[in-house]
Chain A
Amino acid sequence: MTSAQAETMDSAAVSPRRGLFRRHAKSVEQNVLFDEPGPRARRRTAVFNAVGAVVIIAFVVWILYRFANPPQGENQLSWELWKPALSADAWVYFYLPGLLSTLEASVLAIIGSLVFGVIFGIGRLLPVRAIRWISSAIVEFCRAVPVLLFMIFFWRLFAGMGLNDSAAFWAVVLSLVLYNGSVVAELVRSGVGNLPRGQREAATALGMSPLQSLVSIEVPQALIAMLPAMITQLVVVLKDTALGSIITYTDLLQESRRLGSAHFNTLQTLCVTAVIYFIICYILSVVAERLPGHLQHHTIGVVREPVQAPIAILDPSNVLAQERASERELPQGGAEPLFPDHYHGSNAVVTDAWRYAHMEHGHDPQHPDEHLKTNFPESVYRKRATGYRESGEDDGEQKPPSGSK
């Protein structure tokens, strides 16, 4: 990576020195909605702060009061109810076995969805129309159908096929593979799309076929770039295994319900379970959030979690949203940008008109300055997308100026 390219990356994302768990320097303090207040504003903020704290404390107290005095019910805060939910036996016989089967299903599902995602992600990028269409149809279908419906279907199907003991387990795993795999397929596709075109051009120049180039050059880089998004997906998988309890899979949630029904303290066991889920998912989320800075120097792709298009077929226009949203740092204490900071132009199926469409869209093409910056003919970016073309066939297209756009 040259220094010029390094500059075009988000400097915050590149910095490798930042600790994985350390807070980002850019915090809400630099908020322009209210920065550098005067003495009056400071007093007012302090008053609001106190009032807010009182309201929040009152809210918490009300919740606790409700726990202690439910109408016609017993005190839910009493140690009699909490003790069986926290005892060593509960951990050994219920929570830990439940957690184990939750993790078992999650790990299998995430491995499966990686395989599924890479296969169908490549399938959607290949120059053979039939393969592309079939892959697209499968991915779209799996993304649109609720995971719970998949689970119920496979559960009954496997049970009917004679898999009595493990029907629920395999139903959970397969459903999660299908849904999350299709999300990963989209990640692979957008990750490849965000690599600079030179990567494929170099591979083609070395005599590689499109498939070879994808498998050995582009997808590996895309996978590194997509690693944070994959960890986010791991959180989704972990959360979705809880759906398994509806189809009688004995995961953490199901075990806590069993424990609760034995002692009539489901509320308490659910609270403990919620804390376990929260801790695991939160740690994973934090890692996913901090990871980009550590990965940027392993790939020339953009290490940012992309926003996925509501329907993946419509991905190209979503690239526009990403482009628009990525143009500056964190104003008004907004979130970390969810979008690639610099869209280098796509060498994926997202070619032709869409590649330059952000020039047209996010920036007023009628503006006089705009024509000074865009030195390629207007006909190029007016042309409609016609699907896959190899980069060698590009006719007279010039790369749009990178940098500020």
Chain B
Amino acid sequence: MNEMMTLLSNYNVPAAFWVNIQLTLWSALFSLILGVILVMMRISPVGSLRGFATAFVEFFKNMPLTIIMVFMLLGAFVQLRFQFSSSFSTNFYWLAITGLSLYTSAFVCESLRSGINTVPLGQAEAARSLGLSFFQSAGLIILPQAFRGSVAPLGNTLIALLKNSTVAAAASVATETSSLMKTMIEYNASMIVAVFLIFAIGYVILIIPIGLLTTWLSNTLAVRR
């Protein structure tokens, strides 16, 4: 316990967690937008868009996140010169967010697609018989209900995203938790267990409320049929 207190006073652990939370929130926003676009493409009548979305999702679903992150750093930045900012740390930060968003959007798309299963056929039939177009029936009828039906898988995706944000270390984001943990272990090798427990407990504390909220929301928001 004393060890933990010393460590906590010597290093700014909450700041590192804050970096991870920021990475998570930005990536959640972008991957949600991208995921909705992808799922719209996948349920659309247009064959070319459907094919592209399927290929995109399958590609990122079956790709290790680490390789995406390393690609963002060594491929996209070093060799293709993609740059968000001239400052290195800001640049790596946004490259990591790009990688996380691309990766997560595939899982958001799959979650939403399983949510679409919870919408009865009659809803779409009713929408069509009212004369709604594809965008109207998807945007007004199907997707809102699909969102309510896919809260649990989306919550799982969010939790996975928070945990995956530690992989930003592979894209040289040096201020986040896994990098800080590495540094702390290097300088305090005798207190390795305490260092690990600080970060592990930090993640448990962050993840349990998300889980509780997800479960509560999925029960509250589920459409009664």
A239:B65 contact, CB within 8 angstroms: yes
A-B contact count (CB 8 A): 259
Contact A325 B117 (CB under 8 A): yes
User: What range describes how many residues of B lie at the interface?
Assistant: 35 or more
Residues of A within 8 A of B210 (CB): 310
Which chain B positions have C-beta within 8 A of A146? 163-164, 166, 177-178, 203
Please state if B214 and A49 are interface contacts (CB–CB under 8 Å).
no
A209 at the interface (CB under 8 A from B): no
Cα A314 to Cα B210 in complex, Å, equals 12
Give chain A nearest CB distance to B211 CB in angstroms. Answer: 3
- The smallest C-beta distance from A257 to any residue of chain B, in angstroms, reads 7
Contacting residues of chain A (334-349) with chain B, CB-CB under 8 angstroms: 334-335, 337-339
Whether a CB of chain A sits under 8 angstroms from the CB of B185 is: yes
User: With A45-B46, A317-B215 in contact, is A152–B71 under 8 Å at CB?
Assistant: no
Q: Please classify the interface of chain A as helix (H, G, I), strand (E, B), loop, or mixed, using the class held by over half of its residues.
A: helix
Q: Is the CB of B48 within 8 A of A49?
A: yes
Using Cβ atoms and an 8 Å threshold, which residues of chain B touch A277?
62-64, 67
8 A Cβ contacts from B120-139 to A: 120-121, 124-125, 128, 134, 137-138
Contact B199–A324 (Cβ < 8 Å): no
Secondary structure class of chain B's binding surface, majority of residues: helix
Please state if B80 and A73 are interface contacts (CB–CB under 8 Å).
yes
List of A residues within 8 angstroms of B134 by Cβ: 33-34
Distance in angstroms between the alpha carbons of A53 and B199 in the assembled complex: 47
- Do A257 and B74 contact each other (CB < 8 Å), given the known contacts A48-B46, A331-B124, A332-B124? yes
Which residue numbers of A lie inside 8 Å of B, CB to CB?
A: 28, 31-34, 37, 45, 48-50, 52-53, 56, 66-67, 70-73, 76, 140-141, 144-149, 152-153, 156-157, 160, 235, 238-243, 245-246, 253, 257, 260, 266-267, 270-271, 273-274, 277-278, 281-282, 285, 307-311, 314, 317-318, 320-321, 324-325, 327-328, 330-335, 337-339, 361-364
A31-B45, A33-B138, A361-B219 given; name 9 further pairs at CB < 8 Å: A56-B52, A140-B204, A144-B163, A144-B207, A146-B164, A239-B65, A281-B61, A318-B215, A333-B116
